[in-house]
Amino acid sequence: MGLKQELTELAKGQGAALVGVASPDRFEGAPRGHHPRDFVPGVKSVVSVGMKIPELLWDWEDLLKGAEFVPAEARMEVLQGYLYQEMGYNLINEALAQLALRLTTFLELQGHRSFYFSPVTRGGAADRIPFGRGLISHRHAAVRAGLGEFGLNNIVVTPQFGPHVRFVTVLTEAELPADPLLAEKACLGVGCSICVEDCPGAISLRDGFDQRAVWYDTPARTDIPKCREARSVHFCLGRCMRKCPVGRIGSPEDRAATR
Ligand code: SF4
Ligand code: SF4
């Protein structure tokens, strides 16, 4: 079994839904100091690993209505804090960080120096770099590893699971075969636009992007301060991700019937 296959099986055995590899030359144009080579000068492969957000964690619109222990006025706060923020975000990012550490250790035990980026930004980074930025972009790494394209929501839309995936990145000096970039669109594009229309004003489309191309770079901008404000004022709970119709389990009718 080749190293890439061993790595992929290890990741999938620990809960990864998607694993892809990019060559570092796909990151030209990265912000200064944030290219994979800025962290690992001899980097040969960038590994992107995605974990799926369980569907019912983001399909919660009707939950807790009339629930005995949750006052009606606290319902949205509880849903946002517990379902979305804790189970759909923090815990998945912590699992991704643990998984990336294991993959890094596995690669080093095979003799390849490697480096991972935790998606959990406790400690210095959380306060010292702008919100919504990372030392490396897990989203760009996922797109360059062929796992998806950017959607109009600025999130990675994968063919299998839509945007309902969180990612982590591992850099390694091991030479692993790169996966092809996504060849066909996963985002339904401007004709869909549900994510933009349902967002309370934080997403705006860039000028002049090719509407029919596969989007390897973001076709829109997200106003991060507005997005943060919307989360606490409107309880939007990542509506741009949750409402995307791509990659949902079952048809809308099937889902309605199970409610
Ligand atoms: S999280 Fe909410 S406010 Fe932020 S971009 Fe998505 S829909 Fe808009
Ligand atoms: S909601 Fe529609 S336009 Fe937005 S990311 Fe999903 S498929 Fe693309």
**What atom in ligand 1 is closest to the CA of residue 203?**
5
Q: How far is the CA of 171 from the centre of ligand 2 (A)?
A: 29
Token readout for 104 is 């890094």
Among 167, 132, 176, which Cα is nearest to 147's? 167
Q: What is the pLDDT of residues 167-222, one digit of tens each?
A: 999 999 999 999 999 999 999 999 999 999 989 889 999 998 899 999 999 999 99
Residue identifier of the C-alpha nearest atom 8 of ligand 2? 187
Is residue 117 a contact partner of residue 100, using CB atoms and an 8 Å limit?
Answer: yes
**Identity of residue 21:** V
| Domain residue ranges in the chain | 3-257
Q: How far, in Å, CA of 152 to CA of 160, rounded?
A: 17
Pocket (CB within 6 angstroms of ligand 1): 199-200, 202-203, 222, 227, 230, 236, 238-240
pTM beyond 0.85, yes or no = yes
Q: Is 22 helix (H, G, I), strand (E, B) or coil?
A: strand
pLDDT (tens digit per residue) in 139-158: 999 999 999 999 999 999 99
